Structure 1
Amino acid sequence: MTTNVHSTLHVSVEDGVARIVLDNPPVNVLDATMMRELHTALDALRGDASVRVIVFSSADPEFFLAHVDMRIGESMDALEQLTASAPTPTDVNVFQAVGELLRHQPQVTIVKVAGKARGGGAEFIAAADMAFAAAETAGIGQIEALMGIVPGGGGTQYLRDRVGRNRALEAVLTADLFDAETAASYGWINRALPAGQLDEYVDRIARNIAALPDGVIEAAKRALPAEQFTDGLRRENEAWATQIALPAVQQLISRGLRDGAQTPRGERDLEELMRGAMRR
């Protein structure tokens, strides 16, 4: 088994399966460092024909990926270069570039979710080929509306593709945290499993897929390609950029941070925290 350690990721490879553990305390925000390291890790794996499956999980059982760092604006200049490495389409923003990199990975990508995933974390789940979650503990939600914005990392397009327009609008505009069983019934994830069975199930299917005869994975992904969302991603970015530039939105995000967002206590019920910030 080979192992590579980044500052926010732990990457190991064994028997054709790469395992990437997301580890960015205190709540696993998707920040500039993690985005950069995801690009580096996925770029390296893309050219490794011995790796057939990539499994993503979290070092924090409570938070898969909390959401994009609410202070990400301070790192935007450093992030712009990442957009150039998005496979297709090329006209994407820095957040969409992460999802597009994942969606166009040649390996089968599987997400294993034990905790909460909001915003960019939910977009990450929807960008993967498959997703499985713990029925008792996992939660998935597009929190952005409570911050005065809309999803800006591909979420509107990926979610509509998975669940349909009506349910995508429900997820985006209610900004609720959906339990795993509801998410599975909507098609947001593949299935909800008892927490005690999640690791074993994902490990089994990852190993089984990795052991398929040569060419089968490539043929399946060629027959079932990721949809191209060029126009939709452009519309999403325009909608997101219009909102994020508003002074009132910046004030709302700042209030959320002061009230405890991006701390374990605040993230446990981030929806209520942000609704409280909206009311002030």
Structure 2
Amino acid sequence: MPQHYSTLHVTVADGVADIVLDNPPVNVLSATLMKELHTVLTELRGDDSVRVIVFSSANPEFFLAHVDMHILDDEDLFNELVAATPPGVNVFQAVGELLRNQPQPIIVKLAGKARGGGAEFVAAADMVFAATETAGLGQIESLMGIVPAGGGTQYLLERVGRNRALEIVVTGDLYDATTAAAYGWINRAVPAAELDAFVDRVARNIVGLADGVALRAKEVFSPVRPLEGYQREETAWSSLISGPTALPLMNRALEHGAQTPEGEADLEQLMRSVTH
């Protein structure tokens, strides 16, 4: 790939595009990462040699921690992303739409944790395989004084149903891979030592299909954009983020170690400790 990225490592070989997320120290979903995801997926969209895309992380502990709590610090870049956002979705929902509407099947190889916007990214992918011993998923937004606003509520409805989706959102808990698989949040949990080989085999099997089969199969299962659901999500999030609680709570979390490896190790407990 001729394009240089600061938060991604991209290699294309034998029909597989491997995209490694690398945004130290904990792989937050920053404005730069969002922009680079748009760039690389747009480029791959027109590459007929790529039959499947695999996302993984350079950090074994964190796939995508969550949306960067400092995301508004680079106001110009954030406004650029907003201006490029398609009608009917917000800037965070647009990330999930990129994955859901990418022509190639997208696989997430989840070895570490994905919370908030990171969990939404995972749920927007076509297939997710997670390490039994080390992976974790959580929609932690409720502990930050908000609700998911990157499509997470809608993806959870699609994957796990209303009752479990509500449980995941209001508890803010971190779910292990075995539970996530049982809920239908991910495809399956795989022993950590076997995860690389398992995902590689799935990707190679897709590449080995007759021309056009994988792309047509994804077309068959193309999701309808839940515009009404997206709007409800955006309205609920906007009312909370503009209120008196959410931003001070996030600032206290940052002061106590959020977005550091130590603080993110048990972010749920950290957030609960700064709520009052």
| TM-score normalised to structure 2 length | 0.97
- The aligned counterpart of 1:162 is 159
Q: Is the partner of 1:149 in helix, strand or coil? A: coil
- The aligned counterpart of 1:141 is 138
Change (3 A) 1:267 1:160: same
- The aligned counterpart of 1:271 is 268
- The aligned counterpart of 1:132 is 129
Q: Quote how far apart the aligned CAs of 1:215 are.
A: 1.7
**How many angstroms apart in 2 are the aligned matches of 1:152 and 1:267?**
20
- The aligned counterpart of 1:187 is 184
**Cα contact 1:35–1:98 (8 A) shared by 2:** yes
- The aligned counterpart of 1:40 is 39
2:8 is matched by which residue type in structure 1? L
- The alignment status of 1:261 with 2:229, answered yes or no, reads no
The equivalences for 1:84-103 within 5 A come to: 90-103=87-100
Q: Quote how far apart the aligned CAs of 1:210 are.
A: 1.3
The equivalences for 1:165-244 within 5 A come to: 165-244=162-241
**How many angstroms apart in 2 are the aligned matches of 1:85 and 1:250?**
25
Q: Quote how far apart the aligned CAs of 1:82 are.
A: 3.0
**Cα contact 1:117–1:140 (8 A) shared by 2:** yes
- The aligned counterpart of 1:66 is 65
**Cα contact 1:4–1:11 (8 A) shared by 2:** no
**How many angstroms apart in 1 are the aligned matches of 2:139 and 2:94?**
18
Aligned length: 276
Q: Quote how far apart the aligned CAs of 1:5 are.
A: 4.1
Q: Which digits, 9 at most, give the CA deviation of each residue in 1:107-126, with x for residues without a partner?
A: 01000000010000100000
Identity %: 66
Q: Quote how far apart the aligned CAs of 1:249 are.
A: 1.2
| 115, 119, 144: which one aligns with 2:116 | 119
Q: Quote how far apart the aligned CAs of 1:130 are.
A: 0.3
Q: Quote how far apart the aligned CAs of 1:84 are.
A: 5.8
- The aligned counterpart of 2:28 is 29
**How many angstroms apart in 2 are the aligned matches of 1:231 and 1:77?**
29
Q: Which digits, 9 at most, give the CA deviation of each residue in 1:66-123, with x for residues without a partner?
A: 000011122355224335655xx63111111111111100001000000010000100
Residue segments in structure 2 that go unaligned for 5+ positions in a row? none
1:55 is matched by which residue type in structure 2? V
**How many angstroms apart in 1 are the aligned matches of 2:75 and 2:90?**
10
**How many angstroms apart in 2 are the aligned matches of 1:222 and 1:245?**
38
**Cα contact 2:71–2:78 (8 A) shared by 1:** no
**Cα contact 1:4–1:10 (8 A) shared by 2:** no
1:208 is matched by which residue type in structure 2? N
**How many angstroms apart in 2 are the aligned matches of 1:42 and 1:116?**
23
Q: Which digits, 9 at most, give the CA deviation of each residue in 1:152-205, with x for residues without a partner?
A: 100000111100000000000000000000000000000000000000000111
1:113 is matched by which residue type in structure 2? L
**How many angstroms apart in 2 are the aligned matches of 1:265 and 1:3?**
36
**How many angstroms apart in 1 are the aligned matches of 2:94 and 2:59?**
24
